[in-house]
Amino acid sequence: MKVLVTGGAGFIGANFVHLTLRTRPDATVTVVDALTYAGNTESLPTDERVTLVKGDIADRELVDDLVGDADLVVHFAAESHNDNSLHDPWPFVQTNVLGTYALLEACRRHGTRLHHISTDEVYGDLELDDPAKFTPETPYNPSSPYSSTKASSDLLVRAWVRSFGLEATISNCSNNYGPFQHVEKFIPRQITNIIDGERPKLYGAGLNVRDWIHVDDHNAAVWAIVDRGRMGETYLIGADGELDNKTVIETILTEMGQDADAYDHVSDRPGHDLRYAIDATRTREELGWEPAYTDFASGLRATIAWYRDNEPWWRARKHETELKYQRIGR
Ligand code: NAD
Ligand code: TDX
């Protein structure tokens, strides 16, 4: 099977390539990645079954060629950071909307199967005490330029399924953690701050809740959808990992041998979503998928160890990332 992975030099895509090599002896992988600030070739395994093409998914000619040569497209490429989208939304429209459009048209022309990777943020946010969680039937209500462009891309996929009979599935996953995540994101930022002797930074009061899942569990669910998912369907992926940010920061500090309160409060993110929570019943019951990482503390411990052991991987990006945060006061 020839798999085209868009955004495979990013966090989740690179972990997907590693998982595919480990578990799919029949698969070869072509990664197409623009190698933006978020892409890193060092995240990819060196293996004769993996080919990297540097390119933009909004480049219709390139995408047409690559899709024409693939049996399956798994579409991770995106601008993915909410804070960036609040300061410069254009790359989010360009990649998340126009890039997805280019892929959809290529898949339509070649009759190629597509799996589109999306996020729980398309559903907006929940009150802290809301007993409901997001389900595939929850109405879309995105808050940020990031989540609204991801919602747009999901709607394009749905329309291509209905109007053109495209063979596609969609997954909306909660917050991922694990190896190879850029140091701009919450968990790696705090781990690497502590390694550097800097204090972790908590936005606002830190009561915002995220539903954490290990990246390998996300990617195992993606393969389950590719193998057994119903065409045109949306599957939610989450591991019942709800925690508020304050608890996560305190757990990281404790795991790293620091006082649990040795962090700073910084200004809050404008429009900051309060809570995400996924009901993954359909994915579990229909596809028989179950997360392997059910204990967040042990998954986090392994992730802390990975950042300690792989400093050359993140070091080059740490300084510029913190400069960017300094400029926006966070
Ligand atoms: P990331 O920012 O780490 O990686 C994105 C990758 O896409 C990078 O390698 C980047 O170079 C590449 N890219 C960006 N623009 C491109 C373009 N125009 N053409 C080709 N490549 C381009 O992101 P991530 O966290 O790995 O997220 C991957 C996907 O998963 C995204 O679609 C995101 O919306 C979704 N998602 C992420 C999370 C999470 O917690 N990180 C949760 C749910 C869903
Ligand atoms: O330094 C920080 N301090 C802090 O308190 C950072 C970087 C973040 N935060 C807070 C903001 C959020 O409530 O932590 C939470 C997580 O922040 P991010 O890592 O920026 O993730 P989030 O905005 O929740 O979005 C993530 O999950 C859904 C991914 O970046 C998205 O791509 C995905 O769709």
Atom index in ligand 2 nearest the CA of residue 78 equals 32
Question: d(Cα 6, Cα 8) in Å, to the nearest integer?
Answer: 5
The first and second tokens of residue 172, run together, are: 């909306």
**Of 79, 120, 125, 273, catalytic:** 120
At 286 the pLDDT is 98
CA distance 310 to 178: 12
- Pairwise CA distance, residues 114 & 310, whole Å: 33
Looking at ligand 1, which residue's alpha carbon is closest to its atom 42?
Answer: 175
- Residue 85's SS3 state is helix
The protein residue with its alpha carbon nearest to ligand 2, atom 16, reads 186
For the Cβ of 28 lying below 6 angstroms from any atom of ligand 1, the answer is no
Give me the catalytic one of 33, 123, 125, 146.
146
Looking at residue 193, its pLDDT comes to: 98
CB of 100 within 8 A of CB of 116? yes
Query: Residue 73: is it exposed, middle or buried by C-beta count within 10 angstroms (0-12/13-18/19+)?
Result: buried
Quick check: CB of 241 below 6 Å from ligand 1?
no
For residues 169 and 176, give the distance between their C-alpha atoms in angstroms, rounded to a whole number.
20
Could you tell me the domains of the chain?
Answer: 2-177+212-237 (3.40.50.720), 186-209+241-275+295-324 (3.90.25.10)
Rounded Cα–Cα distance for residues 109 and 69 (Å): 12
Kindly state the helix (H) or strand (E) to which residue 317 belongs, with its residue range. Answer: helix 311-327
Angular region, 266: left φ>0, alpha ψ -120 to 50, beta rest: beta
DSSP string, 88-149: --HHHIIIIIIIHHHHHHHHHHHT-EEEEEEEGGGG----TT----B-TTSPP---SHHHHH
Q: What is the pLDDT of residue 141?
A: 98
Q: Distance (Å, rounded) from C-alpha 91 to C-alpha 239?
A: 30
Q: Note if 146 is an active site residue.
A: yes
10-residue stretch averages of pLDDT, the chain, 330 residues long? 99 99 98 98 98 98 98 99 97 98 98 98 98 97 98 98 98 98 98 98 98 98 98 98 98 98 97 98 98 96 98 97 95
Q: Is the CB of 135 under 6 A from ligand 1?
A: no
Host H or E run for residue 320: helix 311-327
Q: Which residues line ligand 2 (CB under 6 A)?
A: 80-82, 119, 121, 175, 185-186, 189, 201-203, 208, 210, 245, 269
User: Is residue 31 lining ligand 1, measured as CB closer than 6 Å?
Assistant: no
Taking alpha carbons only, the member of 232, 132, 234, 129 closest to residue 173 is: 234
Cβ contact 70:87 at 8 Å: no
Judge contact between 290 and 221, C-beta under 8 A. Answer: no
pLDDT in the model for residue 177: 98
Name the residue type at position 71: D
119 CB near ligand 1 (under 6 Å) = yes
Note the pLDDT of residue 116: 99
Return the ligand number nearest the Cα of 34: 1
Using a 6 Å cutoff on CB, does residue 115 contact ligand 1? no
7 CA distance to ligand 1 centroid (A)? 6
Whole-number Å distance between alpha carbons of 174 and 172: 7
pLDDT of residue 258: 98
Could you tell me the distance, in angstroms and rounded to a whole number, from the CA of residue 129 to the centre of ligand 1? 31
For residue 125, the CA-to-ligand 2 centroid distance in Å is 13
What is the residue whose two structure tokens read 């004769």?
48
Q: Determine the pLDDT at residue 33.
A: 99
Instruction: Tell me how far the alpha carbon of residue 10 lies from the centroid of ligand 1, in angstroms.
Output: 6
Report the predicted TM-score, pTM, of the whole model to 2 decimal places.
Answer: 0.99
Question: Cα torsion at 158, 160, 165, 169 (round to 10°)?
Answer: -40
Give the position, in ligand 2's atom list, of the atom nearest the Cα of 203.
5
Q: Is 52 helix (H, G, I), strand (E, B) or coil?
A: strand
State which ligand 2 atom lies nearest to the alpha carbon of 190.
1
